[in-house]
Structure 1
């Protein structure tokens, strides 16, 4: 495993000025957008992912604000090491964004036990482990956790018999931990994105049947478009910041109205 890559501390301005933050699944997509936005808002970010090349590109882009840890959130020792990196580098942990996940789309008759185990390991166990070690690190000074769930973690959808239940873990974990740790100064919330134009979704436009699929998905969102990673990152920033100081246990849709139907 590649160990911590260090970088200098960021400047003092911004809504997360001086905050020590961990963002999992930060090499691409929503996680990368969150790490970039947090860095611009003054945070010291430990970005984690299995994709070491993606993390290196992120750290090169933001060398004054971002450190990296390559690891697997579903492995106990890796999840512990991700949180420990922030504490060792910055003296504490203020914010965790539990974002790492995999997104297989299949009906239950197409899925096997190995598919279920893999998704639950990353999206379920990985979120549990990173939240567990983050709370242990925050137990004295308090802090904020934002779990990245999905519209599939709030409402049922076709073709998501494996992925959807794993995202219900994210939504449920946020609510239970919020109640359990509120009196000790730890806020736990979740965001529930709709379909977002991550790198994988963007590639669908060049694949057979992809444009038609995306057009159909867009029509399911009342705003008649897909969201961007930056729009999700903005919601995560709000929940992580002191502006949301009286908000805990919330699951905030970032879905163009999908869940309002």
Structure 2
């Protein structure tokens, strides 16, 4: 199951998993693009279940997991990807904006993992990959709400890995740098966004931003049996950003 699969990293991950032969449950709050994407996958012969919902709502998060287990009988992999990226410093961010990002990026990831683990325990284990960020490992300017929310993803991966390692459930995270998702590209049209992105791009030692497919490859590795002795890890996919 991949949350936030209509666009960006979630979409790229679903496409890669489909090419690898996975049976997919894809979810998003944006119904029209999600359903259109699922139809594209089905045209290639992929078995796909779709759930439109909000990961921050407990009933929706539970319904997503239930849809996967009822359709396919089990949940082997959960990619907790859904999130929003507000841009602003602590003076610019409102309390309402803080609550929004913490609800989706924080509470939503907690709920996805909670119900995902419940399903995995019933069938002997599985693998969870949480989407963190370089902002969830180190400080960045103008990430006063998003960065702390991504520290939730980092913390969940570490704590849940320890809680469930002896029950066959691995929990890891990826920490992407700045990736050319639709959301990041939209920042160019926001106040200060173009200047912010130019500065951030220059901070990546490889001299460019990453592509969604590059993050998807890291997620697929952590989800797979090739990473069978890896849990509690936070894997940077950041062009060297965090190595500085």
TM-score (norm 1): 0.88
Give the Å deviation of 1:214. 3.4
Aligned to 1:128: 110
Whole-angstrom CA distance in 1 between matches of 2:61 and 2:96: 22
Whole-angstrom CA distance in 1 between matches of 2:125 and 2:190: 46
Q: What 5-or-longer segments of structure 1 have no aligned partner?
A: 1-21
Aligned to 2:71: 89
Structure with the higher fraction of residues in helix conformation: 2
Contact 1:83 1:134 in 2 (8 A): yes
Aligned to 2:133: 150
Which stretches of structure 1, 4 residues or longer, exceed 6 Å deviation after superposition?
Answer: 206-209
Q: The residue matched to 1:57 in structure 2 has which SS?
A: helix
Contact 2:135 2:143 in 1 (8 A): yes
Aligned to 1:34: 13
Aligned to 1:72: 54
Aligned to 2:150: 167
TM-score (norm 2): 0.94
Q: The residue matched to 1:105 in structure 2 has which SS?
A: coil
Whole-angstrom CA distance in 1 between matches of 2:99 and 2:195: 31
Deviations 1:144-164 (A, max 9, x none): 000000000000011111110
Contact 2:85 2:183 in 1 (8 A): no
Deviations 1:37-74 (A, max 9, x none): 11111111100001111111211111123221000000
Which residue of 90, 111, 123 maps to 2:93?
111
Give the Å deviation of 1:131. 0.2
Moved more, 27-36 or 103-112: 103-112
Contact 1:119 1:162 in 2 (8 A): yes
Deviations 1:97-148 (A, max 9, x none): 0000010011111122211111110000000001000000001310000000
Contact 1:152 1:164 in 2 (8 A): yes
Aligned to 1:184: 167
Q: What 5-or-longer segments of structure 2 have no aligned partner?
A: none
Cα RMSD over matched residues?
Answer: 1.4
Q: The residue matched to 1:191 in structure 2 has which SS?
A: strand
Whole-angstrom CA distance in 2 between matches of 1:190 and 1:81: 23
Whole-angstrom CA distance in 1 between matches of 2:189 and 2:100: 28
Contact 1:218 1:224 in 2 (8 A): yes
